[in-house]
Amino acid sequence: MQALTFKVTTIRLPEETIEALQDLTDKLQRERSEVMREAIQIGIDEMKLRLTLELYVKGRVSFGRMAELTGLSHRELHLKLKQRNIPYRYGKERFSEETQQLVG
């Protein structure tokens, strides 16, 4: 397993955010920098998902491409669509994918 490389960056946050971060850090009993890294990663993943869902709704990416861009499985993406009341587009591409899977 390759060791992670860390870089230092500075960010200005509102006092309320710092207090919420400290509260979360205390409750989780973890290092503040570790909690911050995880929170940022969760935020990045969510923003990536939102952008990809927006492209999907506009018809600019397929369901399969959306899975590639987000790194989520088809099952996870179906759940995300359902949670956000986004209809599943069953287009020619998806039909071809499923036909290929059935045929072998």
Domain ranges of the chain: 15-103
Residue environment code for 2-12, b if the CB has 16+ CB neighbours within 10 A, otherwise e? eeeeeeeeeee
Asked if the model's pLDDT at residue 4 lies above 90, the reply is: no
Report pLDDT for 21. 96
Reading the block at residue 33, the tokens are 């920098």
Please state the pTM of the whole predicted model: 0.75
Is residue 93 over pLDDT 80? no
User: Residue 75: pLDDT band by 50, 70, 90 thresholds?
Assistant: very high
Asked if residues 73 and 49 have their Cβ atoms less than 8 Å apart, the reply is no
Nearest-Å Rg of the Cα atoms of the chain is: 19
DSSP class of residue 51 equals H
Which pLDDT score is estimated for 41?
95
Tens-place pLDDT, residues 20-63:
999 999 999 999 999 999 999 999 999 999 999 999 999 899 88
Whether the predicted pLDDT of 100 surpasses 80: no
Residue 102 sits at φ, ψ, to 5 deg, of: -70, -40
Residue 41 phi, psi (nearest 5): -65, -40
